[in-house]
Structure 1
Amino acid sequence: MGKARGRRSVVALVAVLAVAAAAVVVHRVLAPAEVSTVARAAYPPAVTPPAGVVGRLPVAPLVVDGRLRVYASARQVYADQPASARHRVTPFWSYRRWPARLDGVLADGTTVVSRWSDGRLVALDARTGRVAWRADGPAPGSVPAPRRTYAATVWDPAGLHVARGSGGRAVLVAAGPGGIAGYALGDGRRLWRVDLPRGCRTDVGTTAGGDLVGVDGCAGPATVEFRDAVTGAVRTRWRPPESSGALAVTPVGCHAGHSGCRGLRTGGPGDGTGRGWLVGPGGPVAAPALDGADTELDGEWVVGTSGGVTGRSARSGAPRWRRADLGAARILAVEPGRVHLLTEGRDLVTIDPATGAERSRFLLNVGRDGLGWVPGRAYAAGGYLAVERLRERAGPGDDDQGYFLTAESVLLAAT
């Protein structure tokens, strides 16, 4: 009897220990965690590759400082180098969080900011991958699940912008359905926060003059709101003349993403029309040259593709130059001093927006992929251009297999 009780006691103890061990494992696997793998090699030098297709990638790159490419996945932001590598290579650094999901990424200089589904903001030093600071921000709103390239996450992060005040002070602005807040980009210190009613306000972007632009319909007809990004105070509210009902506002002429924009296009939601405006210290100024959806703004110049590729003064609308040799080209992306166009023959042509002069021209193709594709999202920075290639008959309801041309659907080019 004594031996039997002893054996039962041993079995019970083993069972208790097994349950405890399993609990430890479950805790380690499922508990909130952060894994930072910093760079072990030196920060790479900047490179200037010759104009042409660099290579193809399975995910969308964010070019940082002309040296790194930063990528996103469901719970990770990571970088490889050099920026001119033909394929994606072993990560230079990596940062993961669990169980939060990555919501958006932006870069300013050598600071890479990631925003997570729980509202957490994490800034990384691009040179090392080390965490520079952490802050709690407004929880982001719901957005469609990103496709496998994560282009929307890194090229168009919802509710995440950078602005510069009058003294050049860099401010990160994070917006969500319940509020907006501003943070010093250098150290993450929160400068201000405003709680707002849900469902009646959307953020648009930031202006080159340091304002956060939003559309506010909380207390009446939809109005464009200009808020000082450094203090959070509303500078002014404005409604386009002759507008009625709902209001859609699109930023144009932006330095990166929807940050540092010099113009707006306003219209009714989904009506396909718009009026162009330049934004500055004196309030929006009408810019009819920007009215067309086929126009883009770079500084003081508007480039359009209706009836040939043309350049006009943004303020007066006066013609500056015209290119009749590019056919029915479309604008893929704009960056300071460069407008990137895709011709019907799939040539990538980069021009100077002030003069129309050609900076580079080459066939946007690699390997045996062919030219039977249409462009999806596109992005340009530091003389690089990246574009998604979609199947010619792809529709928004298609799965990724039927939507993208190949597994490595993103082309990266140097212009």
Structure 2
Amino acid sequence: MVFPTGRRLFVVAAVVVVVLMAVAATVYRVLAPAEVSTAAAGAYPTAATPSPGLVARLPVAPLVVDGRIRVYAAERQVYADEPVDFKHRSTPYWSFRRWPAELEGVVASGHTVVTQWSDGQVVALDGRTGQIAWRAEGPVPEHDTGSRRTGAEVVWNPAGLFLASAADTSVVLAVGGDAMAGWNLADGRQLWQSDIRPGCQQAIGTSTAGGLVSVDSCSPAATIDFRDAATGAVTRWSPPGGGETLVVTPLGCHSGRSGCAGLRTAVGPGDDAARGWLFGPGEPVAAPVLDAPDTRLAGDVAVGVRDGALVAREARTGSERWRHEDVGAARVLAVEPDRVHLVTDSNSLITFDSVSGDQRSRFQLSLGTDSTSWAPGTAYAVDGYLAVECLRLPVDAEADDQRYFLTSRPVLLAAT
């Protein structure tokens, strides 16, 4: 074997160095932290007013923003399409991608879309253009590896990102494993940040009274903490009959788990002594009509199916406001402050006005030749739109996505 010597050795060494530098540069370009923002090219669409009925079948879960665009979540990307009532997912209207951070949550207020990422960054985007409105360093969230491919939990029910209104200010709230923080939605100015003991605080949502609600599980008896959204000041409350564990379910939320009007507490899963509560200026007020685990809160009305009838009662007094007999095996799929969405055993969607009980719309939840033999999964309703995942029967929560969902486009979007 002949080894290079002298000038030839120098040339070989130089070539090796150049190759290594090129490889290193390529690896850096591929793996280095990066962001790609693609702004909207067209005009912001006008708000749609579709007639009641199915408007779209989609592969992923949409967040309806400002009644004009639909926003979706991918592993490392948030993107939008339009118009809101287009029957398929279309070419992105705008897109924002980060690497290597993963998208953990998305919430929206007006035309502002707020995102939370696995590295703790909170990035607010102008939904009209897709451009960054502001960004902040927030607490690192506890990563959820169990999200399915529709991204429904990220856009419909994020675990660590919320909105609240306090002292005439709209506030973005982010929760991580060891801290909580709040920012002014309008300009991203940080309002407060509080350190928390890791593993002790479980965020539940935000209240109509302007507080971030969480369960402190590290006290001798589990308690509920209310943090003022504008200041972070904490008020602690112990529900009667509480123990070392406490299961809390938010009720009557405006979207996801933000802007909730009440909650239900139980000592543990399946607790027969669950109790319903309504938020107010002081401590939560008992609302026995909300005790039943299948009762929902729509505005100031508690609704549920009882003995084959859909019954609506005043949440504070329990007095009956309206009812519809003979709904059979139907169940309440979702509620809004002004609407109750009922799904029948044959997957017809019936929407009632929550105040008067008048029927607003009724139609079959199917598009084209889709089968009606499926089970509703996670559902979301806002501003008169309802979206629901279609699950294959029999439902197997442990199955992979191909078996779990009915089709490759399992999300139905309806106007009600």
What's the TM-score once normalised by structure 2's chain length? 0.96
Q: Deviation at 1:87?
A: 0.3
Do the aligned residues in 2 keep the contact of 1:166 with 1:209 (CA within 8 Å)?
Answer: no
List per-residue Cα deviations over 1:280-338 (Å, max 9, x = no partner): 10211111111111111122111111221011000110011110132221111112211
For 2:306, what is the secondary structure of its paired residue? Answer: coil
Q: Match of 2:133?
A: 132
Q: Deviations over 1:203-248 (max 9, x none)?
A: 11111110111111333211111111100001x2212212333111
Specify the alignment match of 1:205 in structure 2: 205
Question: Residues 294 and 306 of structure 1 are in contact (CA less than 8 Å); yes or no, is this contact kept in structure 2?
Answer: no
Equivalent residue of 1:27, what SS?
A: helix
- Summarize the alignment of residues 3-402 of structure 1 with structure 2, pairs less than 5 Å apart: 5-167=6-168, 169-234=169-234, 236-273=235-272, 274-307=274-307, 308-402=309-403
Q: CA deviation at 1:178?
A: 0.5
Q: Is the 8 A contact 1:387 1:412 kept in 2?
A: yes
Higher alpha-carbon deviation: 85-94 or 365-374:
365-374
Computed over aligned residues only, the root mean square deviation of the Cα atoms, in angstroms, reads 1.4
Runs of 4+ in 1 over 6 A off after TM superposition: none
Give how far 1:272 is off: 4.7
Q: What's the counterpart of residue 408 of structure 1?
A: 409
- Cα pair 1:171 1:183 within 8 Å, conserved: yes
Distance 1:244 1:322 in 2: 36
- Residues 282, 4 of structure 1: CA spacing in aligned structure 2 closer, same or farther, 3 A cutoff? closer
CA distance in 1, matches of 2:65, 2:155: 11
Q: What is the CA distance between 1:98 and its match in structure 2?
A: 0.4
Please say if residues 155 and 379 of structure 1, whose CA atoms lie closer than 8 Å, have aligned partners that are also in contact. yes
Unaligned 5+ runs, structure 2: none
Deviation at 1:353, TM superposition (A): 1.2
**SS of 1:59 mapped into structure 2:** coil
Question: Deviation at 1:115?
Answer: 0.6
Range moving further from structure 2, 381-390 or 298-307: 298-307
Cα distance in 1 for partners of 2:204, 2:252 equals: 13
Query: 2: CA distance between counterparts of 1:165 and 1:348?
Result: 35
Pair 1:26–1:101, CA change in 2 (3 A): same
- Greater displacement, 268-277 / 194-203: 268-277
- The answer to whether the Cα contact below 8 Å between 1:207 and 1:279 also exists between their aligned partners in 2 is yes
Shift of 1:266: 0.4
How many aligned residue pairs are there?
412
Asked if structure 2 preserves the Cα contact closer than 8 Å seen for 1:60 and 1:71, the reply is: yes
CA deviations 1:127-150 (Å, max 9, x no partner) are 000001110111101323310100
**Quick one: distance in 2 between partners of 1:191 and 1:216?**
22
Matched residues in 2 for 1:138 and 1:250: separation?
Answer: 24
CA distance in 2, matches of 1:351, 1:359: 5
SS at match of 1:305: strand
Deviation of 1:362 (Å):
0.2
What displacement does 1:4 show?
6.9
What's the offset of the Cα at 1:367?
Answer: 1.8
CA distance in 2, matches of 1:227, 1:383: 30
Q: State the distance in 2 between where 1:191 and 1:393 align.
A: 48
**Would the aligned equivalents of 2:334 and 2:341 in 1 still touch at CA under 8 Å?**
yes
- Residue 42 of structure 1 and its aligned partner are, at CA, apart by 0.4
**Greater Cα offset, 311-320 or 220-229:** 220-229
CA shift at 1:8, angstroms?
3.7
Distance in 1 separating the partners of 2:145 and 2:349: 30
Distance in 2, matches of 1:68 and 1:411, equals 16
Does the CA contact (< 8 Å) of 1:302 and 1:353 recur in 2? no
Deviation of the 1:252 alpha carbon: 0.3
Looking at structure 1, the residues matched to 128 and 160 of structure 2 have their Cα atoms a distance apart, in angstroms, of 25
C-alpha distance in 2 between matches for 1:93 and 1:198:
36
Q: Contact 1:165/1:229 (CA < 8 Å) preserved in 2?
A: yes
